Amino acid sequence: MTDLEVVEGLIKKRRSIRKYTNRQLTRDEINKLVEVAMLVPSAGAIHPLSVHVVPNDRQEKLCIAALGQTAVREASVAIIITANVERMLGKYRSRGLRYAYMEAGHAGQNVALTALAMGLDTVMVGAFVDERVIDVMELTSKDLPLYIICVGEKG
Ligand SMILES: Cc1cc2nc3c(=O)[nH]c(=O)nc-3n(C[C@H](O)[C@H](O)[C@H](O)COP(=O)(O)O)c2cc1C
Q: Using CA atoms, how far apart are residues 117 and 139, in angstroms rounded to an integer? A: 31
Whether the CB of 126 sits within 6 Å of ligand 1: yes
Tell me what pLDDT residue 62 has. Answer: 98
Tell me what pLDDT residue 141 has: 80
Nearest CA-CA partner of 17 in 60, 66, 75, 65: 75
Mutate to test the pocket of ligand 1, among 80, 102, 123, 150 (most ligand atoms within 8 A of CB): 123
The pLDDT assigned to 96 comes to 96
Q: Which pLDDT does position 33 carry in this prediction?
A: 98
**CA–CA gap between residue 102 and residue 147 (Å, rounded):** 11
Pocket test for ligand 1, best of 73, 74, 124 (most atoms within 8 A of CB): 124
**How remote is the CA of residue 90 from the centroid of ligand 1, in Å?**
30
pLDDT score, position 17:
98
Which residue has a Cα nearest atom 10 of ligand 1?
125
The single-letter DSSP state of residue 125 is E
Closest atom of ligand 1 to CA, residue 18: 11
Parse the chain into domains and list their residue ranges.
Answer: 3-152
pLDDT at residue 114, as a whole number: 98
State the Cα–Cα distance between residues 87 and 100, nearest whole angstrom.
Answer: 10
pLDDT at 73: 97
**CATH class in words for 3-152:** alpha beta
pLDDT (tens place) for every residue of the chain, 155 residues total: 999 999 999 999 999 999 999 999 999 999 999 999 999 999 999 999 999 999 998 999 999 999 999 999 999 999 999 999 999 999 999 999 999 999 999 999 999 999 999 999 999 999 999 999 999 999 988 899 999 999 999 99
The Cα–Cα gap between 25 and 75 comes to: 10
Q: Which atom of ligand 1 is nearest to the CA of 15?
A: 26
What is the Å distance from ligand 1's center to 126 Cα? 8
